[in-house]
């Protein structure tokens, strides 16, 4: 990937350029055409958690979400990489109970929550984390809801399971490409590969979707975007880029991060979709780059505190001194 990647974020220590993060990004319009590009739009990537909105489409299209009485909060959690805070885990626990299921029915695995209060609570109680603490547990609760509707077996993360068949079908139709294959994500679900342009094309289709007309796919896409925009705190959590930047844009734009330096954005007012990938997988660079691109597109005020914490942001040493800064590379400005 590095052969076609370009500088996207820089670390300056004093007057010295200390580090450069390379990457690629694409902006597509509602027709799927490229309007802006940095690097090779045909670069194939694994979107990781940035594509959770696509993975949630069958949940709505099938009628499973409505049959289960899911609210917009549920839909936001189905698209989330959450902190594992009480506001997240309590909702997912109730969701599972309403399905007649338990934490043991999830297949995402357990990890310590990123939420500081939840983390301390588990440590003080000498308790192990449960699967609902996994940042992908909302997506998996959505998979379980769809699985009940389809009548599938318990192994809903198997690539040949009916749930994952519907996910792959939605993924390929939204990206406009046949996926060259899949890998296993951190939460054990299949993660289907696509080009950066394909991922941006999918996000542009979300951006152009309207809930009051169109087919089941369009209505489902619009509902998921609306849920993310209305509940940014459920999509990630306190201090997270997804939540803070969506709040800074006052719900006009939906954005979603993915592991290994992936980020996407859905801009309904402009009917644009954005996808970016940092070559070395650095989260700090992906956050800096997506903030710069959103500012470049006029969607984000670069002077907003949430934007400044990601671009032109100071980096402090252990003595509390401002020692360096991260800033977008010139190509993004």
The 3-class secondary structure across 66-127, one letter per residue, is: HHCCCCHHHHHHHCCCCCCCHHHHHHHHHHHHHCCCCHHHCCCCCCCCCCHHHHHHHHHCCC
Please report, for the chain, how many H helices and E strands are present, in that order: 13, 12
218 part of a folded domain: yes
pLDDT tens digits along 169-194 = 999 999 999 999 999 999 999 999 99
Residue 29 domain flag? yes
C-alpha to C-alpha distance for 63 and 50, rounded to whole angstroms: 23
| CA atoms of 51 and 200, how far apart (whole Å) | 10
What's the total number of domains in the chain? 1
What residues are paired with 23 via a beta bridge? Answer: 6, 278
Residue 1 lies in a domain: no
Give residue 68's domain range.
Answer: 6-332
Query: 263-303 pLDDT, tens per residue?
Result: 999 999 999 999 999 999 999 999 999 999 999 999 999 99
pLDDT tens by residue, the chain, 333 residues: 556 899 999 999 999 999 999 999 999 999 999 999 999 999 999 999 999 999 999 999 999 999 999 999 999 999 999 999 999 999 999 999 999 999 999 999 999 999 999 999 999 999 999 999 999 999 999 999 999 999 999 999 999 999 999 999 999 999 999 999 999 999 999 999 999 999 999 999 999 999 888 899 999 999 999 999 999 999 999 999 999 999 999 999 999 999 999 999 999 999 999 999 999 999 999 999 999 999 999 999 999 999 999 998 899 999 999 999 999 999 998
Flag whether 181 is in a domain. Answer: yes
For every residue of 260-289, DSSP letters joined together read TTEEEEEETTTTEEEEEEETT--HHHHHHH
**C-alpha–C-alpha distance, residues 221 and 6, integer Å:** 32
Residue 129, domain CATH: 3.40.710
User: Could you tell me the pTM of the whole model?
Assistant: 0.96
């Amino acid at each position: 990937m590095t052969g076609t990647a370009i500088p996207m974020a820089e670390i300056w220590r004093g007057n010295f350029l200390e580090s450069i993060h390379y990457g690629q990004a694409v902006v597509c319009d509602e027709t799927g055409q490229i309007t802006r590009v940095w690097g090779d739009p045909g670069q194939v990537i694994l979107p990781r958690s940035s594509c959770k909105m696509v993975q949630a489409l069958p949940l709505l299209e099938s009628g499973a979400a409505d049959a289960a009485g899911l609210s917009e909060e549920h839909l936001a959690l189905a698209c989330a990489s959450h902190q594992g805070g009480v506001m997240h885990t309590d909702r997912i626990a109730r969701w599972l109970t309403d399905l007649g299921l338990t934490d043991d029915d999830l297949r995402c695995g357990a990890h310590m929550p990123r939420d500081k209060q939840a983390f301390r609570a588990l440590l003080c109680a000498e308790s192990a984390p449960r699967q609902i603490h996994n940042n992908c547990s909302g997506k998996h609760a959505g998979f379980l809801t769809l699985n009940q509707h389809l009548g599938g077996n318990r192994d809903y993360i198997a690539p040949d399971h009916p749930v994952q068949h519907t996910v792959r079908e939605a993924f390929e139709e939204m990206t406009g490409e046949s996926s060259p294959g899949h890998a296993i994500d951190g939460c054990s679900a299949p993660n289907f590969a696509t080009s950066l342009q394909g991922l941006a094309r999918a996000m542009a289709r979300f951006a152009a979707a309207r809930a009051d007309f169109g087919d089941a796919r369009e209505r489902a896409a619009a509902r998921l975007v609306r849920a993310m925009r209305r509940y940014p705190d459920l999509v990630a959590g306190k201090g997270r880029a997804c939540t803070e930047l969506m709040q800074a844009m006052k719900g006009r734009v939906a954005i979603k991060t993915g592991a290994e330096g992936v980020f996407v954005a859905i801009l309904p007012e402009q009917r644009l979709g954005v996808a970016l990938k940092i070559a070395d997988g650095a989260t700090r660079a992906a956050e800096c780059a997506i903030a710069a691109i959103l500012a470049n597109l006029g969607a984000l005020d670069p002077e907003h505190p949430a934007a400044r914490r990601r671009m032109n942001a100071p980096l402090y040493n252990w003595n509390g001194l401002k020692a360096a800064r991260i800033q977008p590379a010139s190509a993004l400005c």
